[in-house]
Amino acid sequence: MIAFVSGPVAALAPDTAVVEVGGIGMAVQCTPGTLAGLRVGQQARLATSLVVREDSLTLYGFADDDERQTFELLQTASGVGPRLAQAMLAVHSPDALRQAFASADEKALTAVPGIGKKGAQKLLLELKDRLGKPAGSAAAAPAPAAAGWRDQLHAALVGLGYAPREADEAVATVAPKAEAVIAEGGTPQVGQLLRAALQTLNRAR
């Protein structure tokens, strides 16, 4: 198993980072929040999980070991593959997921693209005792901030499967929140904005 990759970031895409390891470019599938903290040319260390299929080998990357462990535990539920597990981590931090399962929060799970009401109920039954107890606050871990939050947020939403027009509307919806942070001298956190944008998209459907 490849436990982690470490090296300079060679390229970034909406759902993938290429990390140079020993002269080899390793393509790693990442959540938008993880990608938001990476910069081309800068060093990165990603915890990884290798998913083996008959016709493919896919490496998934995470900001830390907690995310990776949660990703693997989510897949112990029937019907949850790596893509859905990654989508759940794109919307919620590991501790927010633990809180959602501990409190049987259906609404939190249906905020994830691809999970409906029945699917959420099934997941709550299967995973309630597998993820462990929340460490404390269910607040998402802040993603590293970036000046180009609009572009990063838009790319993250498109990477999750939303149409560019939907992404534009979601970015516009959360823009006041980001601008308020900037007005107070702070920097918008893409991970938090992504979760807010996904909630608006979920309500619009």
Rounded CA gap, 190 and 192, in Å?
5
**Residue 145: predicted pLDDT:** 41
Task: Among 1.10.3720.10, 2.40.50.140, 3.30.1110.20, 2.60.40.10, name the CATH number for the domain at 4-62.
Answer: 2.40.50.140
The 10s digit of each residue's pLDDT in 134-143 is 765 444 444 4
CATH code of 66-127, in short, is: 1.10.150.20
**Fold of the 149-204 domain:** Helicase, Ruva Protein; domain 3 (1.10.8)
Asked whether 140 and 192 are in contact (CB, 8 A), the reply is yes
What are the extents of the domains in the chain? 4-62, 66-127, 149-204
Rounded CA gap, 154 and 79, in Å?
28
The low-confidence residues of the chain, meaning pLDDT below 50, are 137-147
The 10s digit of each residue's pLDDT in 92-146 is 889 889 999 988 999 889 988 889 999 999 999 999 888 888 765 444 444 444 3
